[in-house]
Amino acid sequence: MVNFGKRLMADQLEEWKEYYINYKMMKKKVKQYVQQTQNGGRNREQVLKEFSRMLDDQIEKIVLFLLQQQGHLASRIEKLGEERALLMEQADASQISELREAYREVGIDLMKLLRFVDMNATGIRKILKKFDKRFGYKFTDYYVSTRANHPCSQLQQIFKQVGIVAVVGALSRNLAFLQDHQGNFPSIYDHPSITLKVLHFLLNVHMTRSDIYAVKWSELTFLLMPQDPIIEQINHSVQKLTHATNLLQFIGQHALIIPEDMHSGSEDLVDDQSYHFMSLLLNLANTFLYMVNTYIIVPTADDYSVSLGAAATVCGVIIGSMAVAQVFSSVYFSAWSNKSYFRPLVFSSIMLFLGNLLYALAYDVNSLSVLIVGRLLCGLGSARAVNRRYISDCVPLKTRLQASAGFVSASALGMACGPALAGLLQTNFKIYGFTFDQNTLPGWIMCLAWITYLFWLWISFKEPDHIVRENSVNTPSSDSGHRRNSNLEDGLAQPFLIDAKESLDENGEDNDENEEDPEDSHKPATSLAAAYRLLTPSVKVQLLIYFMLKFAMEILLSESSVVTTFYFNWSTSTVAMFLAVLGLTVLPVNVIVGSYVTNLFQDRQILVASEIMVLIGIAMSFRFTSHYSVPQYVSSALITFVFAEVLEGVNLSLLSRVMSSRLSRGTYNGGLLSTEAGTLARVAADMTITAAGYLGQNSLLNVTLLPSFVICVASIVATFCTYNSLY
C-alpha cells in the first residue's frame, strides 16, 4: 500500500504544488521532536506550542489559496450568468449548448479545487494522528476543538467547506436552469438533496489528476441516485474530525459495531445482493426477546424466592445466575459465529426455551435449585455476541449504522417491556396441575415466545454467503469475518515517547502505512489474556467506567422490588410500572444526548459530568434518617439511571475510539470485552444483594449502595488521570 506522503506527491497538481501541506517536512519535525524530548532538550509544552504554530501556518497557506481560487470560480460563474441572461432572450439553442459547456468547465475546475481540499484535509488529519501516536498525547482534540470553534476559524474553510457550498450551489442552479432554457426546471431550492449529492460527490470521490481532466459532467448523472456507501463512510470520517455527531452514530456506538474510521467501500464484502433483511430482523428480535427475558422476572423474583422458602434477597442469586452463565456463553457464541450464525441462534432459542420451562416448573416441584438451573440455562443461551457480530459482518456499510442503532434500541425496548409485561401478569389459575401466576407466568410466556421465534428462525433465516463459501472450502475463518474492519483507527497511543524504531521506505522516509498499520495490527487477539494485554490505560479506565455503571444500574433494578416493598409496601404492579418507566427513558435520553448535547460538548466532558451525576444519584439514595420517602427514592433512582444511560453512550463512544484495531475483529473483540465487563458487574451486584440480605432488609439499601459509591469515586479519579488521552 502506498503511503500518504507518496500519494500526496503523485496526486497533487503541479501548478498548485507550493500550496499543499508540506507533509514531508512536518513528518521530519515530529521525528525531531521525539528525539529532542527523549534527550531532554525540549519539554512537551514547548513542542506543543511550536507544532501548533507550524500547523497554523500550513493551514493559513492552504486557506488563503483556497479563498483565492473560490473568488476566481465565483467571478467566472458571475460572468457566465450575465451571458445566460442575454441568451435567454434570444433562445439560441447552439449558444445555450456552448454556455452549458462553459459551466461544465467551471465544474471541472471546481472538482480540482475540491480534490485539493480533500488531500490537504487528509494530510492535516494524518499529521495530527502521527503526532498523537508518537507522543502518546491526544493533541488532536485540543487543536481541532480550539481552532474549529474559534470565530476566526480557518479550519472551518477546510473541514466544513465554508464558501465552497455557495459556489457549488450557484453552479448546480445554473446547470439545472440550462437543462430547460424555458425555465421549467427542478429548482435546487425545492430539491436540496440534488445539490447535497453533487457536493458530497465532489468532496469525497477519490480522483487522480488524469481522472479530473478526463471526467465528463454528463457522467455525473448518477448523483441523483442514492449515495454510494463510500461517500457516507468518508463523510463519517469528516464528522469525526470536526467532533460532529448525529443520533444514529451516537446510538450505534453503544453496540461497539461502528468503528470510528470505517474501511473503504471497496473492501466491504457485503453487497446489497447478499444482504438478507429478514436475517437481520431475526437477530434484532433475538436481542429484544433476550432483554425481555432478563428483566421480566425482576418485579417478582423476590416473591418467587419467598414462595420457595428462601429469603427475599435470594432474588439477587436468581437474577444474577443468568449473568453468571452469560460470562461463559459470550465467549463460545463469539467463537461459534466464526463458522455460522444460524446454528448458534438455534441453540440459543432451545436453551432459552428449556431455561424458561424449568423456571416456570420450579414452583410446582417446589425447588429453588430448579429455578436457578433454569436461569443458568437462559444465560447459556445469550446470543448477543452473535447478534452484534452479524450486524458487523453481514450488513452493508450504508445500512450498518441504522442496524447498530436498531440493536441498541431493541435492547432498550426489551428492557422496558420486560417489567411492563410482568406487571400485566397478575392472575392465578391452574391447568392440569401446572400453576400459572405472577411468578410462573414470565417463564410460560417466554417459553411460548422462544418456540415461536425458533419456528420463525428455522423457516426464514439465511446463512450469509461468505460463511457458506468459507465452510465449503473448510478454511479457517476466525478473523475473516472481521478482517474488513482492519482499518479501524488505532486507539490510545503508546505511553509518552515510543521507543520503537520507525519503519523507513526505500527513500529513507517514514512509511505511514507501515507505521500506522503494522502487520501485527492485522492479527486479532487469540485469547482473553492476549486481548487484555492490548488494553492501554485509557481503555482499562473506560472498561472500569462501564463496569461501574452496570454495577450501579443492576443494584438499582435488582433490589427495587425488595426495597420498595420493605419501605413503601409497593405492589408487584407498582414496581413493574416503576421499572418500565425507567426503561422507557433510554431512547429519549439517547435522542437528546445524541442530537444536541454531543454537538455542544466534548465526549470526555460529558463523561466526567455524567459520572459526577451518577455519584450524586447514588449518594441521594442512601437512607440517612429513619424516614425514607418515596420522592427521595424515585428522584435518586431517576438521576442514577438516566445519567448512567448518558454515561454508557459516551463511554462506549470513547471506547470505540481508543481501543486497538486488533480488538475490532476476531473472537476476542472489543464488543466481547465490554460485554464481559458489564456481565461481571451484574454478577457482582446481584451477589452483593444476596450477601447483604444476611444483615437484614433494614440494612440492605445502604450496604449495597456503598460499593457502588466507592467504585464510582474510583472511576472518576481514574478518568481524570487519563483525561488528556481521551478524544
Dump pLDDT digits (tens) for 343-360.
Answer: 999 999 999 999 999 999
Which of the residue ranges 273-277, 431-435, 586-590, 665-669 has the most confident prediction, judged by mean pLDDT?
431-435
| 200-214, 397-411, 457-471: the lowest-pLDDT one | 200-214
Do 18 and 156 belong together in one domain?
Answer: yes
User: What is the pLDDT, as a whole number, of residue 273?
Assistant: 56
Please, what is the Cα angle at 177 between 176 and 182, to 5 degrees?
135
Do 535 and 682 belong together in one domain?
Answer: yes
Do 172 and 305 belong together in one domain?
Answer: no
User: Is 546 a member of any domain?
Assistant: yes
Cβ 704 vs Cβ 692: under 8 Å = yes
Q: How does pLDDT run across 222-243, given as a tens digit for each residue?
A: 333 333 333 343 344 334 434 4
Give the other-Cβ count within 10 Å of 372's Cβ: 21
Q: How does pLDDT run across 25-55, given as a tens digit for each residue?
A: 988 888 888 888 877 777 777 888 888 889 8
Do 317 and 247 belong together in one domain?
Answer: no
Q: How does pLDDT run across 131-175, given as a tens digit for each residue?
A: 877 776 667 767 776 776 666 667 666 665 556 666 766 776 676
pLDDT band at 664 (very low <50, low <70, confident <90, very high): low
- Separation CA 477–CA 482 (nearest Å): 9
| 118-132, 426-440, 587-601, 631-645: the lowest-pLDDT one | 587-601
Which residue, 254, 287, 312, sits at the end of a domain? 254
Could you tell me what percent of the chain has a pLDDT over 70? 70
Mean pLDDT, range 390-409, rounded to an integer:
78
Which residue, 204, 239, 254, sits at the end of a domain? 254
How many alpha carbons fall within 13 Å on the CB side of residue 447?
Answer: 15
Whether this prediction's pTM lies above 0.75 is answered by no
User: Is 316 a member of any domain?
Assistant: yes
- Separation CA 390–CA 333 (nearest Å): 12
Cβ 408 vs Cβ 356: under 8 Å = no
Backbone angles phi, psi at 238, to 5 degrees: -65, -40
Cβ 704 vs Cβ 689: under 8 Å = yes
Cβ 637 vs Cβ 621: under 8 Å = yes
Kindly tell me if the per-residue pLDDT of 485 is higher than 70.
no
Cell of 598: 454531543
Which residue has better confidence, 547 or 658? 547
Type of residue found at 696? G
Do 387 and 300 belong together in one domain?
Answer: yes
- DSSP string for residues in 317-373: HHHHHHHHHHHHHHHHHHHHTTT-SHHHHHHHHHHHHHHHHHHHHHHHHT-HHHHHH
Do 382 and 437 belong together in one domain?
Answer: yes
Kindly tell me if the per-residue pLDDT of 220 is higher than 80.
no
Cα 314 to Cα 130, 558, 697: the distances in Å are: 54, 11, 12
| 69-83, 225-239, 568-582, 601-615: the lowest-pLDDT one | 225-239
Backbone angles phi, psi at 138, to 5 degrees: -80, 75
User: What is the pLDDT, as a whole number, of residue 446?
Assistant: 96
Cell of 655: 471506547
User: In DSSP terms, which residues pair with 430 in a beta bridge?
Assistant: 435
User: What is the pLDDT, as a whole number, of residue 471?
Assistant: 58
pLDDT band at 260 (very low <50, low <70, confident <90, very high): very low
**Best CA proximity match to 573, nearest among 427, 380, 444, 396:** 427
Cβ neighbours of residue 496 under 8 Å, at least 6 residues apart?
44, 135, 136, 137
Mean pLDDT, range 547-575, rounded to an integer:
92
Mean pLDDT, range 364-380, rounded to an integer:
94
Backbone angles phi, psi at 431, to 5 degrees: -135, 120
pLDDT band at 250 (very low <50, low <70, confident <90, very high): low
pLDDT band at 251 (very low <50, low <70, confident <90, very high): low
Cβ 492 vs Cβ 537: under 8 Å = yes
- Separation CA 329–CA 102 (nearest Å): 65
Q: How many domains does the chain have?
A: 2
Cβ 418 vs Cβ 320: under 8 Å = no
Q: How does pLDDT run across 301-318, given as a tens digit for each residue?
A: 999 999 999 999 999 999
User: Is 200 a member of any domain?
Assistant: no
Residue 248, classed as helix, strand or coil, is helix
Do 149 and 287 belong together in one domain?
Answer: no
User: What is the pLDDT, as a whole number, of residue 372?
Assistant: 95
Which residue has better confidence, 706 or 153? 706
- Separation CA 111–CA 99 (nearest Å): 19
Do 238 and 340 belong together in one domain?
Answer: no
- For every residue of 213-240, which 3-state class applies, written as one string? HHCCHHHHHHHHCCCCHHHHHHHHHHHH
Do 684 and 569 belong together in one domain?
Answer: yes
Could you tell me what percent of the chain has a pLDDT over 90? 30
Do 244 and 336 belong together in one domain?
Answer: no
User: Is 485 a member of any domain?
Assistant: no
User: What is the pLDDT, as a whole number, of residue 673?
Assistant: 80
User: Is 662 a member of any domain?
Assistant: yes
Please, what is the Cα angle at 405 between 197 and 677, to 5 degrees?
135
589-621 burial, b at 16+ Cβ within 10 Å, e below that, comes to bbeebbeebbeeebbbebbbbbbebbbebbbbb
Kindly tell me if the per-residue pLDDT of 263 is higher than 70.
no
Mean pLDDT, range 88-97, rounded to an integer:
68
- Separation CA 467–CA 235 (nearest Å): 30
Cα 467 to Cα 336, 390, 454, 474, 665: the distances in Å are: 12, 11, 21, 10, 15
Cβ neighbours of residue 190 under 8 Å, at least 6 residues apart?
none
Cβ neighbours of residue 232 under 8 Å, at least 6 residues apart?
397, 398
User: Is 342 a member of any domain?
Assistant: yes
Q: Where residue 397 sits, what CATH number does that domain have?
A: 1.20.1250.20
Q: Are strands 434-436 and 429-431 parallel, antiparallel or unpaired?
A: antiparallel
Cα 477 to Cα 374, 466, 526, 667, 670: the distances in Å are: 33, 10, 13, 10, 18
User: Is 14 a member of any domain?
Assistant: yes
Expressed as residue numbers, the domain containing 35 is 4-185+229-254
Cβ 342 vs Cβ 463: under 8 Å = yes
Cell of 478: 476466525
Do 339 and 249 belong together in one domain?
Answer: no
| 12-26, 91-105, 221-235: the lowest-pLDDT one | 221-235
Please, what is the Cα angle at 590 between 585 and 593, to 5 degrees?
120
User: Is 682 a member of any domain?
Assistant: yes
Cβ neighbours of residue 30 under 8 Å, at least 6 residues apart?
51, 127, 130, 131, 134
Cβ 421 vs Cβ 429: under 8 Å = no
Type of residue found at 312? A
Do 173 and 314 belong together in one domain?
Answer: no
Backbone angles phi, psi at 429, to 5 degrees: -155, 170
- Separation CA 462–CA 280 (nearest Å): 10
Kindly tell me if the per-residue pLDDT of 286 is higher than 90.
yes
Mean pLDDT, range 75-86, rounded to an integer:
82
The secondary element (H helix, E strand) that includes residue 434 is strand 434-436
Q: What's the mean pLDDT when you consider all of the chain?
A: 76
User: What is the pLDDT, as a whole number, of residue 112?
Assistant: 81
Q: Where residue 123 sits, what CATH number does that domain have?
A: 1.20.58
Please, what is the Cα angle at 176 between 171 and 178, to 5 degrees?
95
Cβ neighbours of residue 440 under 8 Å, at least 6 residues apart?
359, 360, 361, 362, 363, 364, 434
Cβ 113 vs Cβ 181: under 8 Å = no
